[in-house]
Amino acid sequence: MSEAHILLVDDERSIRDPLASYLSKNGFRVSRAADAAEARRILAAYAIDLVLLDIMMPGEDGLALCGHLRATSGIPVIFVTARAEEMERILGLEIGADDYVVKPFSPRELLARIKTVLRRSGDRPSRTPGRACEAFAFGPWVLRTGERELIDAEGVAVPLSTGEFNLLLALVTHPRHVLSRDQLLDLAHGRELAAFERSVDNAVSRLRRKIEPDPRSPTLIRTVWGGGYSLAADVKRL
Amino acid sequence: MSRFLPKSLLGQMLLLMGAALFVAQLVNFGFILNEQQKLSLAMNEGPAITRFAHTAGRISAAPAEIRPMLAADRPGPGALYRIMETNPIDAEGLERIEEIERRLIRALGDAGVKPRAVRGSLLAARPPVHSDGHRHPFHRGDRLVLLAAQLGDGSWLVGRFDVPRTDPWLVHRLLLGTVALYVLVLGAVLWIAIRLARPLRDLTVAAERFEGRSESPPVEPRGPSDVRQAIEAFNAMNRRTLALLDEKDRMLGAIGHDMRTPLASLRIRAESMEPEEEKARMIATIEEMAATLEDILVLARTGRAREPVRAVDLAALADALVEEYRALGKMATFEASPRAVLDVQPNLLRRALRNLIDNALLYAGEARVRASGEESGIALIVDDDGPGIDEARMAEALEPFSRLEESRNRDSGGAGLGLAISRAVALAHGGELELKRRPEGGLSARIWLPKVDQAAT
């Protein structure tokens, strides 16, 4: 993956050109497209590793193009958009985007996100669409990744911090597996860049306070002596 | 005094109509009683006058010696005659009634008597009492007519007649009529007032509930046509307001998009700038512009945010938010609070709370957050030990673009929209934002969110 090929789709020349040169400088091969039609031509001609996609474009918009990509390929998509509302973010992720950055963004942060998404898609070549927006049911809880929320049996949303969310996501994607602290740290880090420096134990105890009926004798997140933690519940993808 | 007067349309109409009816009835009573008196003269006193004239005719034709005997002889039922030296009416100073005297003269004329003078009076139920304590001898009945005619020789023929009382049930009938009138008129007023008041109340409720969202249903036009027209005009105004608000949203969306794109372009170009310190400054400026733009857009859209309302555990929300600050190494703490569930727009609320925490961190370097669930709602409270805000300037602090340090030193904060956004979010949830000086020093900011009974509204 020394030179991943990124397709940059944005109708704004003032974004397209400097961003393309920034990404080139940082070791990517970049193709540019000003609209969806041009993007489709490039997608047909080259092996693209990742698409950076603007949502609001004249003609076919980014959401439609993303839907097309999801239906025909497993190429990861990151939305780059000037629409900042939370609803847009979730909509984008529901359509099957892997991530979402809002203009104006820090190019360095975008770079980090590109790398994360590329690594993840490299890990799992046969990705299922809608990876970034899923729901996992375990015990009385449902974890929704789009909203990053836990929903309880009564439908009440219990918000999680980034750290708690990442840890829980790692656990529900590996149910009944014993995950060591290092593994958990790794899995959680791979998901989000936001700080997760605090100890895994601390995050686990916070999570237990939120999801265990009795945090002192946990039944959902079990401590495995000498090993780490494991989620003692069956997980169903919704 | 005026606070005892009714304030509502219904109360005022009833009071006014009641008072007007009362005055009208008083005037009416006066007329009726006057009329009744005239009628009574003809009906009750008339026969007595005729009888008196007849007797006077007989007596004046007789010699003076036998007149007293004639007068005392068979006076007829309810009547008494006397021949007297003086007439008791003048002697007692009784009220003379002109109408009776006029009729008496006419009746005496018909009987062929030409009196030197006549007197006529009515005695009411309670007779006047003599100075020596004796009642007047002529007075025995409840209601008497006293008639006197001075004959040719200067003596007076005096007659006293019992007359039927004038319509004893008159007052009762009048009262009954008044009550019936009150019931009818006030009933009609009540009906009209209710017909007016109900659609007006609908209108008030609709105006109070108007949130600038398209879901608010139009008010059903009912009541009299002018009220209907007012309601239809209100509905039309609502539609225009909604259209304006929609246009505002579209415009803000366009502004947001059109400003974010060049800012993004600048931000990307800044990344390759030299030297390093110039680049850092430029990036800081761009990010600040972006943050201010974001704040303005959020503030302008609160209350019309499209975010759906969901049941959220606010204690967990505050806890998770504080945890994010802690992860970034900020001095934020959350005081463990029990579950506090409310239907809210969680992202807006998160933003409101974040602004309060940012302020506490900025001015005090530390923020203590707690959630307190109460019977009537939930409070999210951020306490700090900073310099606080003067009581006098607290209202000012909540205004958009107000920054209490006069310097408008940008290093110490944003564009002055933080508290305004927090307050707008609280208001959009039907609550409020309160700032308070803590007795121990420092500021306590409290977002209060009432529990709205959704089923009742």
B311 touches chain A (CB under 8 A): yes
Mean pLDDT of chain B: 81
What average pLDDT does the segment A228-237 reach?
A: 84
Task: List b or e across A152-182, with b for residues whose CB sees 16 or more CB atoms inside 10 angstroms.
Answer: beeebbbbbbbbbbbbbbbbbbbeeeebeee
* Predicted confidence (pLDDT) at residue B14 exceeds the cutoff of 50: yes
Residues in chain B within 8 Å Cβ distance of A106? 267, 271, 283
Phi, psi of B73 (to 5 degrees): -80, 130
In chain B, % of residues over pLDDT 70: 87
Distance CA B363, CA B315 (A): 24
CB–CB of B265 and A18 under 8 A?
Answer: yes
Contact list in B for residue A108 (CB cut-off 8 A) is 271
Check residue A24 and give its pLDDT.
93
Residue B126 has pLDDT above 70, yes or no: no
Question: Which of A56, A86, A156 is opposite residue B313, by nearest beta carbon?
Answer: A156
* Both structure tokens of B325: 């600050």
Considering A66-80, B103-117, B163-177, the range whose residues carry the highest mean pLDDT is A66-80
Cis peptide leading into residue B275 (ω within 30°): yes
Does residue A60 surpass a pLDDT of 80?
yes
How many other CB atoms are there within 10 angstroms of residue B416's CB atom?
18
B250 pLDDT higher than 90: no
Considering only CB atoms, which residues of chain A are within 8 Å of chain B?
12, 14-15, 18-19, 21-22, 25, 56, 82-87, 102-108, 149, 152, 154-164, 194-198, 206, 209-210
- If you average pLDDT over every residue of chain A, what do you get? 82
Task: Determine which of A29-33, A43-47, B234-238, B390-394 has the lowest per-residue pLDDT on average.
Answer: B390-394
Is the confidence at residue A188, as pLDDT, over 90?
no
Q: Which two tokens stand for residue B227?
A: 């009220």
From B264, B271, B323, residue closest to A206, measured CB to CB? B323
**pLDDT for B139:** 42
Nearest to B264 among A104, A161, A162 (CB): A104
CB contact under 8 A, B316 and A206: no
Helix (H/G/I), strand (E/B), else coil: B353: helix
User: What mean pLDDT comes out for the span A171-188?
Assistant: 82
Question: What per-residue confidence (pLDDT) applies to A209?
Answer: 86
pLDDT-based confidence at residue A130 (cuts at 50, 70, 90): very low
Cross-chain Cβ contact A160/B320 below 8 Å:
yes
Sheet holding A77-81, edge to edge: A29-33, A5-9, A50-53, A77-81, A99-102
Structure tokens at A137: 């049911």
- pLDDT: which is higher, A202 or B353: B353
What's the DSSP call for residue B16? H
| pLDDT at B369 (0 to 100) | 93
d(CA A128, nearest CA chain B) in Å: 28
Split at pLDDT 50, 70, 90, the class of A30 is very high
User: Dihedral sign, CA of B163, B164, B170, B172?
Assistant: positive
Chain A CB within 8 Å of residue B291 CB? no
Q: Which of A46-50, A191-195, B31-35, B322-326 comes out lowest in average pLDDT?
A: A191-195
User: Average of pLDDT values for B292-312?
Assistant: 79
B288 to chain A, any CB pair closer than 8 A? The answer is: no
Is residue A127's pLDDT more than 70? no
A12, A149, A159: residue with CB nearest B261: A12
H/E stretch holding B198 reads: helix B170-209
Question: Could A82 and B261 be called an inter-chain contact, meaning their C-beta atoms sit closer than 8 Å?
Answer: yes
Over 60: is that where the pLDDT of B231 sits?
yes
> pLDDT confidence of B407, banded at 50, 70, 90?
very low
Nearest to B294 among A84, A86, A206 (CB): A84
* Mean pLDDT value across residues B293-298: 82
Question: Is B262 touching A (CB cutoff 8 A)?
Answer: yes
Is B231 in CB contact (< 8 Å) with chain A?
A: no
CA distance A107 to A79: 14
Residues 6 or more apart from B240 whose CB is under 8 A from it? Answer: none
pLDDT tops 80 at residue B40? no
Contacts of the segment A202-208: beta carbons below 8 A, 24+ positions apart: A203/A163, A203/A164, A203/A167, A204/A167, A204/A229, A206/A161, A206/A163, A206/A164, A206/B319, A206/B323, A207/A160, A207/A164, A207/A167, A207/A168
Query: Which position has the token pair 């009529």?
Result: B177
pLDDT at A204 (0 to 100)? 84
Could you tell me the pTM of the whole model? 0.63
ipTM above 0.90, yes or no: no
Q: Per the CB < 8 Å rule, is A82 touching B257?
A: yes
Q: Which among B269, B341, B347 has the least Cβ separation from residue A86? A: B347
Contacts of B320 in chain A (CB under 8 A): 159-161, 164
3-state helix, strand, coil in chain B (%, to 5): 55, 15, 30
pLDDT for B131 = 53
End-to-end alpha carbon distance in chain B: 36
Report whether pLDDT(B408) > 50: no
Whether B241 has a pLDDT exceeding 60, the answer reads yes
Looking up tokens 């008597």, which residue turns up? B113
Pick the residue with more confidence: A74 or A10?
A10
Percent of chain B at pLDDT > 90 equals: 8
pLDDT recorded at residue A191: 46
Question: Of the segments A23-32, A141-150, B37-46, B100-109, which one has the largest average pLDDT value?
Answer: A23-32
B327 and A104 within 8 Å at the Cβ level: the answer is no
Task: Read off the pLDDT of each residue in B7-28 and give the average, rounded to a whole number.
Answer: 86
* Separation of alpha carbons A227 and B399, rounded Å: 55
B48-60 per-position pLDDT tens digit:
888 888 888 888 7
In contact, B358 and B416? CB cutoff 8 Å: no
- Give mean pLDDT, residues A127-146: 73
- Which H or E element spans position B8? none
- Residue B264 host element (H or E): helix B225-270
Least confident of A31-35, A161-165, B70-74: B70-74
User: What gap in Å lies between CA B121 and CA A133, rounded to an integer?
Assistant: 109
Lowest mean pLDDT among A72-76, A167-171, B127-131: B127-131
Residue A103 has phi, psi (to 5 degrees) of: -70, 140
Q: Which of residues 339-398 of B touch A (CB under 8 A)?
A: 341, 346-347, 350
**Cβ contact A50:A78 at 8 Å:** yes
pLDDT average, residue stretch B144-172: 78
Is the pLDDT assigned to residue A7 strictly greater than 90?
Answer: yes
Return the amino acid letter for A27: G
Rounded average pLDDT over B89-113? 82
Asked if the Cβ–Cβ distance from A18 to B297 is below 8 Å, we say: no
Q: How many helices (H) and strands (E) does chain B have?
A: 12, 11
Is the predicted pLDDT of residue B401 greater than 50, yes or no?
yes
Residue B456: the pLDDT is 38
CA distance A158 to chain B (A): 5
Tell me which amino acid residue A57 is: M
Q: Which of B261, B310, B336 sits opposite A14 (nearest CB)?
A: B261
At B147 the pLDDT is 83
pLDDT above 50 for B140? no
What is d(CA A30, CA A15) in angstroms, rounded to the nearest whole number? Answer: 13
With the C-alpha atoms ordered B367, B371, B372, B377, is the resulting torsion angle positive or negative? Answer: positive
For B348-374, what is each residue's pLDDT tens digit? 899 899 999 998 898 888 999 999 888
Q: Please say if the pLDDT value at position B447 is more than 80.
A: yes
Helix (H) and strand (E) counts in chain A: 8, 12
CB distance B313 to A157 below 8 Å: yes
